[in-house]
Chain A
Amino acid sequence: MWKRDDAAKPNAPGGPGPAPAQHGSVPPAAEAAPGKPAPAGDPQRGQEKTAVNIGKSVVIKGELNGSEDLTIEGQVEGKIELRQNVLTIGPNGKIKAQVFAKAVIILGEVTGNVTASEKVDIRDNGSVDGDIASPRVAIAEGAHFRGSIDMQKGAGSQKTEGKPATASAPAASAQGQQQGQPSSPATAGANR
């Protein structure tokens, strides 16, 4: 029994904490299963095929693009763009980036502007220093926020579609660097 546990352990030290958006068996760091057929008779695994997890030992500097839901437990600096998907910043996640997504759930720390076409949800102990643009914003008791909130209709979608990132977003992938474990296919713009 314990041998099987060993086999499931991550190779890198300091595996990530639990990924809230996913159920159980997502490998610790930067693992993705896009396109992988789900085992028959296991509906949960079927749902996981479009979910990606960036573990807490991963550091990404650059631009992160994708078309899958993503959970970040590590550190990202630059720009994150998941226009049609949900981005979850886990409790260990530390983001210094412009964020564009369909929905953003924040349990960790974000420094930078967050734009969502549907919803931004700052959970208990989540922290945001930056401006939020989204038609819906939920902020839990105990969350930290400093910045502005714009909930005008279309505020999130307009900026997502049209406005390029400014300020702190480094010039995309060419200069990016990543340390730690490899990232997933969803992090197409991130450099390794």
Chain B
Amino acid sequence: MLSDILRWGGKRSGQPDERHDTSVSRGAEPLVPSKAFPKFLSAIANRPEPPVLIDFGPVIGTNVAFFGEQLGCKLFIEDLFADFDRHARAGTLDALPATIDSRFRHADGSVDGVLCWDFFDFLSKPAAQSLARQIVRMLRPGGAVMGFFCTSSSVDRAPFTKYEIVDPNSLRHKAHPGSGGKKYAFLNRDIIKMFDGLIVSDSFLLKNNIREILLRRRS
């Protein structure tokens, strides 16, 4: 456990890759380098069978083509942002943890990778714990989870973001039509506790103050 924490700290001060150090904007859709995404890809790559992935974001054609055509993954689109939006509009966000608990049809230990994007930022602690519990349940030994976590203090209202894969090292941050919601900033120790059963294998603090965290289940 201690080694995991030390390793985590070490990565945060890792040397940046100059090629991807600065965000490249295209209008309002910045192209942002990702440190965790290539590691996520390598984590799911060495599988005897086609990897099974869950994507918590809205469906994006290029991402589907990337995972399906290029990597041969079986992809499950579970658009939790749409669920959140629906609950927010109906004023039933308190019911979100229960919804999450009953939402996933995947068997225990049947998933190789989970793309959470920044969905946890929009969840209250009980909802985040429900979702983390489901992820831990579904994840296969050796499987990986990638999530983005904000570092600033909680914000009352923030828009959703869609993450479009441009290449294995960079993502385009696109505007999401959803209403957005309150953002919560989780401490590192909260994240470790939430994902009890997984280890934080890599953590990167980007220049835009987003933490990219990769969690793994031991093989």
A contacts, CB < 8 Å to B: 136-141, 143-152
Q: CA of A137 to CA of B60 in the docked complex: distance in angstroms?
A: 11
Task: Say whether A147 contacts B77, CB under 8 Å.
Answer: yes
Residues of A within 8 A of B60 (CB): 139, 141
List 15 contacting pairs A-B, 8 Å CB cutoff, sorted by A. Answer: A137-B64, A137-B65, A138-B61, A139-B60, A139-B61, A139-B64, A141-B61, A146-B59, A148-B74, A148-B75, A149-B68, A151-B64, A151-B68, A151-B69, A152-B72
Task: Say whether A139 contacts B59, CB under 8 Å.
Answer: yes
Residues of B within 8 A of A137 (CB): 64-65, 68
Q: CA of A73 to CA of B33 in the docked complex: distance in angstroms?
A: 44
Residues of B within 8 A of A138 (CB): 61, 65
Task: Say whether B72 contacts A148, CB under 8 Å.
Answer: no
| B78, CB-defined interface residue at 8 Å | yes
Q: Mark B73-107, 1 if CB is under 8 A from A, else 0.
A: 01111110000000000000000000000000000
Query: Quick one: closest A residue to B71, CB to CB?
Result: A151
Q: CA of A47 to CA of B147 in the docked complex: distance in angstroms?
A: 51
Q: CA of A175 to CA of B78 in the docked complex: distance in angstroms?
A: 35
B contacts, CB < 8 Å to A: 50, 59-61, 64-65, 68-69, 72, 74-79
Residues of B within 8 A of A139 (CB): 59-61, 64
Residues of A within 8 A of B72 (CB): 151-152
- A140-B61, A143-B61 given; name 13 further pairs at CB < 8 Å: A137-B65, A137-B68, A141-B61, A143-B59, A145-B77, A146-B77, A146-B79, A148-B74, A148-B76, A149-B76, A151-B64, A151-B69, A152-B74
Residues of A within 8 A of B78 (CB): 146
Residues of A within 8 A of B61 (CB): 138-141, 143
Q: CA of A143 to CA of B79 in the docked complex: distance in angstroms?
A: 12
Task: Say whether A150 contacts B69, CB under 8 Å.
Answer: no
Residues of A within 8 A of B64 (CB): 137, 139, 149, 151
Residues of B within 8 A of A136 (CB): 69
Task: Say whether A149 contacts B75, CB under 8 Å.
Answer: yes
Query: Quick one: closest B residue to A135, CB to CB?
Result: B69
Q: CA of A144 to CA of B69 in the docked complex: distance in angstroms?
A: 20
Shortest 3 CB-CB contacts between residues of A and residues of B: A151-B68, A139-B61, A145-B59
Residues of A within 8 A of B75 (CB): 148-150
Q: How far is the CB of B67 from chain A (nearest CB, A)?
A: 8
**A144-B59 contact in complex given A149-B64, A151-B69, C-beta closer than 8 Å:** yes
Residues of B within 8 A of A143 (CB): 59, 61
Q: CA of A138 to CA of B68 in the docked complex: distance in angstroms?
A: 11
Q: How far is the CB of B63 from chain A (nearest CB, A)?
A: 9
Q: CA of A59 to CA of B77 in the docked complex: distance in angstroms?
A: 30
Residues of B within 8 A of A147 (CB): 76-77
Query: Quick one: closest B residue to A147, CB to CB?
Result: B77
Q: CA of A139 to CA of B65 in the docked complex: distance in angstroms?
A: 9
Residues of B within 8 A of A144 (CB): 59
Task: Say whether B50 contacts A152, CB under 8 Å.
Answer: yes
Task: Say whether B69 contacts A149, CB under 8 Å.
Answer: no
Task: Say whether B50 contacts A149, CB under 8 Å.
Answer: no
Residues of A within 8 A of B76 (CB): 147-149
Q: CA of A101 to CA of B75 in the docked complex: distance in angstroms?
A: 21
Query: Quick one: closest B residue to A133, CB to CB?
Result: B74
Residues of A within 8 A of B59 (CB): 139, 143-146
Residues of B within 8 A of A152 (CB): 50, 72, 74
Query: Quick one: closest A residue to B61, CB to CB?
Result: A139
Q: CA of A147 to CA of B75 in the docked complex: distance in angstroms?
A: 8
